[in-house]
Amino acid sequence: MALLMEKTVIITGTSSGIGKEASLFFSEKGWNVVATMRNPNKRKTELKNKDGIDCIHLDVLDEKSIGDAIKFTLKKYKKIDVVVNNAGYSLFGPFEASKKEQVKKQFDTNVLGLMNVTREILPTFRKQRNGVIINVSSAAGRMTFPFYSLYNSTKWAVEGFSESLQFELRQFNIKIKIIEPGIINTEFYAGSKVIAENQTFEDYKTSLNKMIEYEKRNIEKKNYSHPRVVAETIYKAAIDESWKMRYKTGKYAGTIITLRRLFPDPLFFGIIRRLALK
């Protein structure tokens, strides 16, 4: 039975990683959680066995599924307090090796999908004169790494979209929050990463392999944070009644974003080259 005095959150991309941990954390805090994913019937997830968590279908590229998820939530819980736009993945590799279809899918999922969910929830939040939209961006939305040009550009788009949108929505008491994780131990480095590669692009192999080795060293040295850390930050943003917009979280996020802001381009770019391409 729905506990209507509790708050309710819809979270996208909950099959693993940050989305799954955020669903569990909100549930532990007594929230009604609508955990959405593209194929809830095909995914084996512990979320299905948790009281207070509804696992339902939502594809960020299918506006009908988004609308259906919102209707389901309103019917069961009467009110939606927070939406967490978490669904996304990474396309990695030389831009020259990427295919048009890969580029389109990257932007469709990470940017247009996030916009689709936001557009669909706004009528409800405007009617309520209240609501929080939390967009999971990345430290990669404030700085860049080699061979992540497409992923970086989607996260920069999320940052710009969110920052502009908050001006429009403040009059309705709708808050926009941006989460900027650093290095997090999720499927980002495995299942959720798509590699753009082409056997004819041998000229990139040396630098590409150096970047791959850099990431392997980070994993081996455990230079990362658990996604639970990001889940805690998302929850903190959800209950923060201030108009603070950006929340840095996880390994190196604060340091690297601060350095990017303070250092001139040549110095900062040199640091990244030495780290990732040495």
Which of the residues are catalytic? 137, 151, 155
Task: Report in angstroms the alpha-carbon separations of 36 from 29, 99, 101, 264.
Answer: 19, 29, 25, 41
CB 95 within 8 A of CB 122: no
Distances (CA, A) of 60 to 35, 67, 73, 186, 227: 13, 10, 16, 20, 21
Distance in angstroms (rounded) separating the CA atoms of residues 245 and 121:
19
The two counts, helices (H) then strands (E), for the chain are 9, 9
What span, in angstroms and rounded, lies between the C-alpha atoms of 81 and 29?
Answer: 14
Which residue(s) pair with 174 in the sheet?
131
State the alpha helices, DSSP H only, in 170-252: 205-220, 227-239
Check if the beta carbon of residue 179 is closer than 8 Å to that of residue 244: no
Gap between the Cα atoms of 218 and 183, Å rounded:
9
Joined tokens for residue 274: 């030495």
∠ at Cα 259 (146, 187), nearest 5°? 45
Handedness of CA 53, 54, 59, 60 (dihedral sign): negative
CA gap 74, 46 in Å, rounded: 24
